[in-house]
Structure 1
Amino acid sequence: MILCFDIGGSAIKIAHAYSQQDVRPMGREATPGRDLDAFLDVLRRAIADAPEPPTRLSFSIAGAVDPDTGVANVANIPCMNGKRVVADLSAALGLPVVLANDADCFAMAEAVVGAGRGHDIVFGVILGTGIGGGIVVRGELINPDGGMAGEWGHGEVAQRVVGDPQVVLPAFACGCGNAGCLDSVCGARGMERLHSHLHPGANLASHAIVDGWQRGRAEESRTIAIWLEILTGPMTMAQNMLGAGIIAVGGGLSNARPLVGALDRAVRDKVLRKFDRPLIVPAECRIEPGLVGAAILGLKSEEAGG
């Protein structure tokens, strides 16, 4: 049995994995993000409470590991930030540890048991608070040793002259330290920022903007039209570079199926390979994808004897 953890800044989700199709969520604990001893105690209790001794531990984290040094960058879990997290956790807990970025785990879950089943190349896209992604090629992460891949939300590529009539947007500051990233204007918070800029005085949550667009309201419709225009070009370029068979979309904005459908149609009109079926589709993995992806990676490591 693989014991799986999906670790975020506020909660640690736990699951027992017996196979890729048998992943059993077991609840969650608050994340003691600043207290290393308390953090390790949560993990030790999960090990002790397991119905049988786990053979290894597999983690999904909101961060990245430097493949050259093994040092983690996990800003929302300060007690782990800057540490050689795989080696340190394995030493502290006495079990082999597998660890991957949460977007990579999402992509792996979709590739193996979700919308990407049967496709050689799967691009897992997060349209949530921000924008992220992961890439799976023939059942393996493109970056199995850590690092950054699939993070198409960052880089100063957001189109700034957009719309009909045209408007010139500022290069919105991004949390990564750059300005003009897709993350800063096309994630849920970015959509809200875009709407407020286009319609001074408007202050709507992203779900209300999407709802207004679906109802045909003028202001919300203009915002979504520009949002789609900004997002379509970079997504087209990413698809032309990757040649994905499917792009599975997760995150809060993916719950708006008409929005995903509109993005799919806009991108399919522009990509070099022409599809007679949807390319960009909502994610299908209904169990916590971070836990499922971590489970799959742990099981693969077990099979390989790593």
Structure 2
Amino acid sequence: MTNPHSPVICLDLGGSFIKLGVMSARDALEILDQQPIPADYWAAFCARVSAMIVQHEAHFAPDSPVAISTAGIVAPLTGEMFASNIPAFHQRQLAKELAAALQRPVIVHNDADCFALAEALAGTGKGHKVVLGAILGSGVGGGLVSDGRLVIGQNGLTGEWGHGPITLTEVEIDGSPVRIPRQACPCGQKGCLDTLGGARGMENLHRVLHDERASSTEIITRWQQPEPRAQQTIQAWLQLVSEPLAYSINITGASLVAVGGGLASVTPLIAALNDAVQRCVLRSTPHALVVPGTFAHHGGMMGAALLARQSAGR
């Protein structure tokens, strides 16, 4: 069994880059390197990861495990990876095959789940029994932690509030009803919150409402000025996002939602989302339910490392 106090090698695998870090024996995370990911070829991917670890091996122990956070789904029974944006390991048993290549223990988990675990154990959710991690980045994702452990559901999906035909088809803007047609989602569904709820979704929503292209940063800046069109877009966005989030809170019993992703850095937006959610849940709370997460930038790596610690300590 791996020493639970050994430094942990942390990797964040995205469609463009591999980020490498180390979690020390005192659970402090240090980012060491970032390099382009060979996203199309398994052999090149393994070689790049191996070279990065060797380059920084002074930071690790011989038995240090590799903890990986990545977009995609890990099948609980087989370990098969579903990550269509990274063909190099799509439909491979990533943990098992990479462990053989590196001669080190490897764990792999979804980045939203890892973020949720980091927030529950060491971030804004510390001390809460049930924590929902809500990603509002380019898209919408989530993870669920109960009693300090990730809840791993069917097919590796839990807390995934961004997908499924759940979006409203009508919102109220300045007291008047406005129809919002459901959008086709890359997942194959129609009406997923992911199409209207993340940063790209906010931009999509603004186009639907005003036939105008603007970045999410521009929309939020104009909302804060305030500018009428952006105000209307954010009114609609808050309705679209708050209702499924409140529904998720009612179902899971989460006493805190830690928000990650780029939109989490806009404090007034998350405060407005919290107010909207508090009006929708069955029972509001005196404390904020929806708050920016502590680990906005490296929560996935932190959570993966903490998951490796949990696995080693069993």
Instruction: Output the TM-score relative to the length of structure 1.
Output: 0.95
- 1:55 deviates by 2.5
Q: Give the AA of the match of 2:259.
A: V
CA contact (8 A) 1:5 1:12 kept: yes
The 5-angstrom pairing of residues 64-83 of structure 1 reads: 64-83=73-92
Counterpart Cα distance in 2 of 1:228 and 1:157: 15
- 1:245 deviates by 1.7
Counterpart Cα distance in 1 of 2:156 and 2:73: 6
CA contact (8 A) 1:19 1:299 kept: no
**1:272 aligned counterpart, secondary structure:** coil
The 5-angstrom pairing of residues 155-174 of structure 1 reads: 155-163=164-172, 164-174=175-185
Counterpart Cα distance in 2 of 1:41 and 1:159: 46
Cα distance per residue 1:254-293 (max 9 Å; x no partner) = 1111110011011112212221111100011266111111
1:6 is aligned, of 1, 12, 28, to: 12
Aligned to 1:242: 252
CA contact (8 A) 1:132 1:151 kept: yes
Aligned to 1:275: 285
Inter-CA distance 230–286: structure 2 relative to 1 (3 Å threshold): closer
RMSD between aligned residues = 1.5
Aligned to 2:136: 127
Cα distance per residue 1:151-209 (max 9 Å; x no partner) = 10001010011123111111111111111110001111111111111112x11101111
Q: Give the AA of the match of 2:129.
A: D
Q: Is 1:177 matched up with 2:184?
A: no
1:188 is aligned, of 199, 204, 208, to: 199
CA contact (8 A) 1:75 1:81 kept: yes
Cα distance per residue 1:24-71 (max 9 Å; x no partner) = 211211100112121111221233231132431111111111123321
Counterpart Cα distance in 2 of 1:275 and 1:160: 28
Inter-CA distance 243–292: structure 2 relative to 1 (3 Å threshold): same
Inter-CA distance 286–50: structure 2 relative to 1 (3 Å threshold): farther
Aligned to 2:4: none
Aligned to 1:90: 99
**1:177 aligned counterpart, secondary structure:** coil
Range 283-292 or range 204-213, more displaced: 283-292
Inter-CA distance 92–146: structure 2 relative to 1 (3 Å threshold): farther
Range 40-49 or range 105-114, more displaced: 40-49
Aligned to 2:269: 259
Cα distance per residue 1:199-244 (max 9 Å; x no partner) = 12x1110111111111121111111101111112111110011111
Counterpart Cα distance in 2 of 1:227 and 1:286: 21
CA contact (8 A) 1:64 1:148 kept: yes
Q: Give the AA of the match of 1:64.
A: I
2:40 is aligned, of 29, 34, 40, to: 34
Aligned to 1:63: 72
Inter-CA distance 56–20: structure 2 relative to 1 (3 Å threshold): same
Q: Is 1:50 matched up with 2:61?
A: no
CA contact (8 A) 1:21 1:113 kept: no
Q: Give the AA of the match of 1:23.
A: L
CA contact (8 A) 2:260 2:296 kept: no
Counterpart Cα distance in 2 of 1:184 and 1:20: 40
Counterpart Cα distance in 2 of 1:47 and 1:222: 49
**1:119 aligned counterpart, secondary structure:** coil
- 1:20 deviates by 5.8
Aligned to 1:102: 111
Counterpart Cα distance in 2 of 1:20 and 1:153: 34
Cα distance per residue 1:114-169 (max 9 Å; x no partner) = 11111111101001110001111111100189711111000101001112311111
- 1:99 deviates by 1.0
Counterpart Cα distance in 2 of 1:187 and 1:16: 30
The runs of 5 or more residues in structure 2 that have no matched partner are 1-6
CA contact (8 A) 1:20 1:296 kept: no
- 1:86 deviates by 1.6
Aligned to 1:230: 240
